[in-house]
């Protein structure tokens, strides 16, 4: 079966938008017979949800993708007032980050980014349900999350971006992938793409070419935007993509303390530590312990051993990427979380098969958001994480 995908590269090349035909195997396009009502994951469905359900927050377009699609964010609370007197780098040299954050340095700003990779649906679903909690106190299943509501009320600013890479999400023509046991082929195909013969490009091979030439693939996957760029590994200090530029502009204005970047690619929900400012390492580890403790106590990690599961020495370090660039750009603590896939069952808990159902995945995402918000409330944010150390 051939699927027509509109690719508008006007921003990248100045040319008219070509139409690319991707030949995707029909069986890859099979969806579950029943898709849960809370599973809102497509670009159009998310757009409708934002239009119809956001009343307390404000929906704004923060930028336009390489393919000409709007990047929407939802804002709650009030932004920081005033500006600092120095750049972020300058404030580090001055040994007082308040010189960058500005007079409202005590305000607590939280940013949630999802859908950087268009074939990773779980974070998008989690963000939509988080928005439901922020609006109504309950997720789209009707479950109440009083701790999220309380934490949100204690934060000064919350920003949620459900789909950071709308081009990649639109390219993947599914609401939900049919469950395929232990076979990860279809999920991987829609994430990292297929070679001309249909075999998987695979990870990390998919990062060898950035941008990727779509004509060299059967299907390029949901990683890149319509200019072929995986923005998780953009040309940050050269010519960043419009999606990255929008994110840089947003974070320069808002100066968030904590940024969650939600991805898919783990057996259990698993934070990863990206290259970041050394002074924030102990803060990252404290947040890791908090999130992993809550997930373990909820029965959503490999074992029920809290000490083992929350041990930050088990962290896998990611090299320089979008999270690193954002930390260097605006001083934020960046927390990348990899989610399990909804379409496969490779997990075991205490040696027994463990099915990552859509409900369990949503619980895990909302618990992670809950604990991250509570952590920011309890610890006070960037200005308290690295207090002034300059000589008096």
pLDDT tens for 37-50 read 999 999 999 999 99
How many structural domains comprise the chain? 1
Tell me what pLDDT residue 392 has. 66
Using alpha carbons only, what angle is made at residue 238 by residues 233 and 241, rounded to the nearest 5 degrees? 55
Cross-strand bridge partners of residue 259 = 111, 334
Residue 5 has pLDDT above 90, yes or no: no
Which tokens sit at 204? Answer: 């990390």
Question: Tokens 């991805």 identify what position?
Answer: 263
Which tokens sit at 157? Answer: 């600013």
- 222 in Cβ contact with 208 (< 8 Å): no
Residue 296 has pLDDT above 60, yes or no: yes
Q: CATH number, domain at 331?
A: 3.40.630.10
Residue 15 has pLDDT above 80, yes or no: no
Task: Establish if 6 belongs to a structural domain.
Answer: no
Task: Establish if 378 belongs to a structural domain.
Answer: yes
Residue 316 has pLDDT above 80, yes or no: no
Residue 3 has pLDDT above 60, yes or no: no
List, as one string, the DSSP characters of 278-325: GGGHHHHHHHHHHHHHHHHHTT-SSSS-HHHHT-GGGPPEE-S-HHHH
Domain of 369 in residue numbering reads as 25-189+238-385
- 229 in Cβ contact with 241 (< 8 Å): yes
CA 3 to each of CA 38, 69, 320: distance values in angstroms, whole numbers, following the listed order: 26, 19, 34
Tell me what pLDDT residue 317 has. 80
Residue 220 has pLDDT above 70, yes or no: yes
Residue 30 has pLDDT above 90, yes or no: yes
Task: Establish if 95 belongs to a structural domain.
Answer: yes
Instruction: Tell me the mean pLDDT in the region 196-200.
Output: 95
Question: Cβ contacts of residue 297 below 8 Å, gap of 6+?
Answer: 306
Q: What is the CA radius of gyration of the chain?
A: 20
Task: Establish if 293 belongs to a structural domain.
Answer: yes
Q: How far is CA 162 from the centre of its chain?
A: 8
Mean predicted lDDT score pLDDT of the chain: 93
Proportion of the chain above pLDDT 70, given as a percent: 94
Using alpha carbons only, what angle is made at residue 116 by residues 110 and 122, rounded to the nearest 5 degrees? 85
Proportion of the chain above pLDDT 90, given as a percent: 88
pTM of the model: 0.94
Residue 11 has pLDDT above 80, yes or no: no
Tell me what pLDDT residue 352 has. 86
Tell me what pLDDT residue 376 has. 98
Task: Establish if 7 belongs to a structural domain.
Answer: no
Task: Establish if 149 belongs to a structural domain.
Answer: yes
Report the first-to-last Cα separation within the chain, whole angstroms: 70
Task: Establish if 302 belongs to a structural domain.
Answer: yes
DSSP letter (8 states) at residue 163? -
In angstroms, the CA 57 to CA 109 distance is 15
SS3 (DSSP) at 332 = coil
Q: Are strands 19-23 and 2-6 parallel, antiparallel or unpaired?
A: antiparallel
Tell me what pLDDT residue 8 has. 38
CA 211, 199, 43, 156 torsion-angle sign: negative
Instruction: Tell me the mean pLDDT in the region 269-292.
Output: 95
Cβ-count burial 305-322 (b if 16+ within 10 Å, e if not): ebeebbebeebeebeebb
């Amino acid at each position: 079966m051939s699927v027509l995908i509109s690719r508008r590269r006007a921003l990248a090349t100045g040319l008219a938008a070509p139409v690319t035909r991707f030949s995707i195997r029909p069986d890859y396009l099979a969806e579950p017979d029943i898709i849960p009502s809370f599973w809102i994951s497509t670009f159009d469905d998310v757009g409708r949800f934002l239009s119809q359900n956001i009343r307390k927050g404000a929906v704004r377009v923060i930028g336009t993708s390489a393919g000409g699609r709007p990047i929407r964010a939802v804002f709650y609370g009030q932004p920081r007032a005033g500006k600092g007197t120095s750049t972020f780098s300058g404030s580090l040299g001055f040994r007082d980050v308040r010189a960058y954050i500005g007079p409202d340095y005590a305000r607590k700003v939280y940013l949630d980014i999802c859908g950087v990779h268009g074939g990773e649906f779980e974070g998008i679903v989690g963000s939509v349900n988080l928005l439901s909690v922020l609006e109504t106190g309950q997720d789209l299943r009707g479950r109440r999350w009083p701790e999220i509501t309380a934490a949100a009320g204690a934060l000064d600013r919350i920003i949620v971006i459900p789909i950071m890479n709308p081009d990649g999400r639109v390219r993947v023509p599914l609401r939900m992938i049919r469950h395929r046991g232990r076979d990860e082929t279809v999920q991987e195909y829609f994430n990292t793409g297929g070679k001309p013969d249909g075999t998987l490009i695979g990870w990390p091979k998919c990062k060898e070419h950035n941008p990727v030439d779509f004509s060299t693939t059967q299907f390029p996957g949901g990683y890149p935007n319509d200019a072929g760029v995986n923005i998780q590994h953009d040309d940050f200090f050269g010519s960043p993509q419009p999606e990255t530029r929008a994110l840089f502009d947003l974070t320069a204005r808002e100066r968030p303390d904590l940024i969650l970047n939600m991805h898919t690619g783990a057996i259990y929900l698993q934070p990863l530590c990206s290259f970041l400012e050394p002074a924030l390492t102990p803060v990252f580890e404290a947040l890791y312990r908090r999130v992993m403790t809550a997930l373990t106590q909820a029965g959503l990690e490999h074992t029920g051993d809290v000490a083992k599961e929350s041990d930050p020495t088990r962290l896998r370090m990611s090299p320089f990427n979008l999270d690193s660039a954002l930390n260097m750009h605006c001083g934020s603590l960046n927390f990348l979380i990899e989610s399990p896939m909804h379409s496969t069952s490779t997990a075991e808990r205490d040696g027994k098969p463990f099915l990552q159902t859509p409900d369990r995945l949503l619980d895990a995402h909302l618990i992670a958001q809950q604990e991250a918000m509570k952590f920011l409330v309890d610890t006070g944010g960037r200005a308290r994480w690295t207090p002034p150390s300059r000589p008096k």
